[in-house]
């Protein structure tokens, strides 16, 4: 089969499965399987796929037709200009989360001691270290597999981060200048309404914020008082309807100058404050 036929057939199969970005996804899978650039493709689109490439491509298209997220098939996602390995044990890094990282980079001291809770792939703390190489960086996650993925990502991006398997603060000691987190924040009852790619393939442990979606904010905010230095900063990603609840909790624990930051869609996305 030639490249252009593969692209057409892959696109048709994904369209039939109701994937909106059928052509784009088919293209990414072809590029991934055949290790070709778009430019190479347009100049050589009558080249034949090798037999094993064709098999792998058909398998990949089949998975995508079943709604497996593209990133789990390809095995990576770009975040803050860096490449992160992903697998179904970690949430796929979201563009919205770049807002959290950009916000914290504006105010984080270059030698701060920083803790990232619910680190998942490690995308937040690793991209912080890439921008501020002298911070002392820690990341924790309750999932052993997530910690393994985060360690691999730190290595891939040549950053030094201490990752610990930890139920929130449990494995950490001492005080931090910054605590950052994008915890699970979707109310349990809303999980069935998520798009199939998320609902059926991303780890529920990374999504489910229990009854009202605020469980982890309660735990993280209450614990931060003990783990933050005087003047320490707490910076949290939130769901777009959670700003006032999270702001109230932070006020209750004595946080000052609490600021809500919007994402590119104009939705509340980050809350930060200091002690
Ligand atoms: N911190 C990771 C991310 O932002 C994982 C978040 C999570 O698992 N809730 O992608």
Q: Give the pLDDT band (50/70/90) at residue 3.
A: very high
Ligand 1 binding pocket includes 91 (Cβ within 6 Å) = yes
Predicted confidence (pLDDT) per residue in 172-204, tens digit: 999 999 999 999 999 999 999 999 999 999 999
Ligand 1 binding pocket includes 11 (Cβ within 6 Å) = no
What pLDDT does 261 receive?
A: 97
Burial (0-12, 13-18, 19+ Cβ within 10 Å), 269:
buried
pLDDT at 42 over 90: no
Question: Any long-range contacts for 244-248 (C-beta under 8 Å, 24+ apart)?
Answer: 245/214, 245/217, 246/214, 246/217, 246/221, 246/271, 247/271
- Calculate mean pLDDT across residues 139-150: 98
Rounded distance between C-alpha atoms, residue 51 and residue 33, angstroms:
11
> Is 184 annotated as a binding-site member?
yes
Rounded to the nearest whole angstrom, what is the distance from the C-alpha of residue 72 to the centroid of ligand 1?
A: 15
ipTM above 0.85, yes or no: yes
The answer to whether residues 33 and 53 touch, using CB atoms and an 8 Å cutoff, is yes
Please state the atom number of ligand 1 nearest to the C-alpha of residue 203.
8
Q: Give the pLDDT band (50/70/90) at residue 236.
A: very high
pLDDT at 211 over 90: no
Predicted confidence (pLDDT) per residue in 103-116, tens digit: 999 999 999 999 99
> Is 141 annotated as a binding-site member?
yes
Rounded distance between C-alpha atoms, residue 270 and residue 261, angstroms:
5
Please state the atom number of ligand 1 nearest to the C-alpha of residue 237.
4
What pLDDT does 38 receive?
A: 86
- Calculate mean pLDDT across residues 48-77: 97
Closest CA to 258 of 246, 268, 272, 237: 272
pLDDT at 45 over 90: no
pLDDT at 229 over 90: yes
pLDDT at 243 over 90: yes
> Is 203 annotated as a binding-site member?
no
More confident residue, 38 or 9: 9
Ligand 1 binding pocket includes 149 (Cβ within 6 Å) = no
- Calculate mean pLDDT across residues 38-51: 89
> Is 183 annotated as a binding-site member?
yes
Rounded to the nearest whole angstrom, what is the distance from the C-alpha of residue 148 to the centroid of ligand 1?
A: 14
Rounded to the nearest whole angstrom, what is the distance from the C-alpha of residue 192 to the centroid of ligand 1?
A: 19
Rounded to the nearest whole angstrom, what is the distance from the C-alpha of residue 124 to the centroid of ligand 1?
A: 8
Quote the mean pLDDT of the chain.
Answer: 96
Closest CA to 162 of 141, 132, 146, 140: 140
Please state the atom number of ligand 1 nearest to the C-alpha of residue 181.
1
Please state the atom number of ligand 1 nearest to the C-alpha of residue 205.
8
Please state the atom number of ligand 1 nearest to the C-alpha of residue 90.
8
What does the DSSP assignment read for the chain? -BHHHHHHHHHHHHHHTT-TTHHHHHHHHHHHHHT--HHHHHHSTTSBPPHHHHHHHHHHHHHHHTT--HHHHHTEEEETTEEEE--TTSPPPPTHHHHHHHHHHHH--TT-EEEEES-TTSHHHHHHHHHSTTSEEEEEES-HHHHHHHHHHHHHTT---EEEE-STTTT--S-EEEEEE----B-GGGGGGS-HHHHHHS-GGGTB--TTS-HHHHHHHHHHHHHEEEEEEEEEE--TT-HHHHHHHHHHTT-EEEEEEE-TTS-EEEEEEE-
The answer to whether residues 26 and 34 touch, using CB atoms and an 8 Å cutoff, is no
The answer to whether residues 17 and 63 touch, using CB atoms and an 8 Å cutoff, is no
Ligand 1 binding pocket includes 7 (Cβ within 6 Å) = no
| Helical ranges in 67-182 per DSSP H | 70-74, 96-107, 123-131, 144-156
* CATH homologous superfamily for the domain 79-274: Vaccinia Virus protein VP39 (3.40.50.150)
- Calculate mean pLDDT across residues 138-163: 98
Please state the atom number of ligand 1 nearest to the C-alpha of residue 206.
8
Name the residue at shortest CA distance from atom 8 of ligand 1: 206
Q: At 28, phi and psi to the nearest 5? A: -60, -40
In a mutational test of the pocket of ligand 1, which residue from 85, 117, 119 has the highest number of ligand atoms less than 8 Å from its CB? 119
With a pLDDT cut of 70, the percent of the chain lying above it is 100
Predicted confidence (pLDDT) per residue in 58-67, tens digit: 999 999 999 9
Q: Give the pLDDT band (50/70/90) at residue 46.
A: confident
Q: At 86, phi and psi to the nearest 5? A: -130, 150
Name the residue at shortest CA distance from atom 3 of ligand 1: 93
pLDDT at 41 over 90: no
């Amino acid at each position: 089969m030639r490249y252009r036929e593969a692209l057409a057939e892959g696109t048709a199969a994904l369209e039939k499965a109701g994937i909106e970005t059928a052509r784009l996804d088919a293209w990414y899978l072809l590029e991934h399987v055949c290790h070709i650039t778009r430019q190479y493709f347009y100049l050589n689109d009558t080249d034949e796929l090798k037999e094993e490439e064709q098999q792998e491509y058909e398998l990949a298209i089949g998975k995508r037709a079943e709604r497996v997220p593209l990133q789990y098939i390809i095995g990576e996602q770009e975040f803050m200009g860096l490449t992160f390995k992903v697998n179904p044990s970690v949430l796929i890094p979201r563009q919205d989360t770049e807002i959290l990282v950009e916000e914290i980079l504006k105010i984080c001291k270059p030698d701060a001691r920083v803790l990232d809770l619910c680190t998942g792939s490690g995308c937040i703390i690793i991209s912080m270290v890439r921008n501020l190489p002298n911070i002392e960086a820690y990341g924790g996650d309750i999932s052993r597999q997530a910690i393994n993925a985060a360690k691999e990502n730190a290595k891939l991006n040549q950053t030094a981060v201490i990752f610990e398997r930890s139920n929130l603060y449990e494995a950490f000691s001492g005080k931090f200048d910054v605590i950052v987190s994008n915890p699970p924040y979707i109310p349990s009852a809303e999980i069935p309404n998520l798009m199939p790619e998320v609902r059926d393939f991303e780890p529920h442990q990374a999504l489910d914020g229990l009854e009202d979606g605020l469980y982890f904010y309660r735990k993280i905010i209450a614990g931060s008082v003990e783990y933050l230095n005087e003047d320490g900063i707490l910076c949290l990603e939130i769901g777009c309807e959670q700003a006032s609840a999270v702001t109230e909790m932070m006020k209750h624990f004595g946080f000052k100058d609490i600021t809500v930051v919007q994402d590119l869609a104009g939705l509340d996305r980050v809350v930060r404050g200091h002690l």
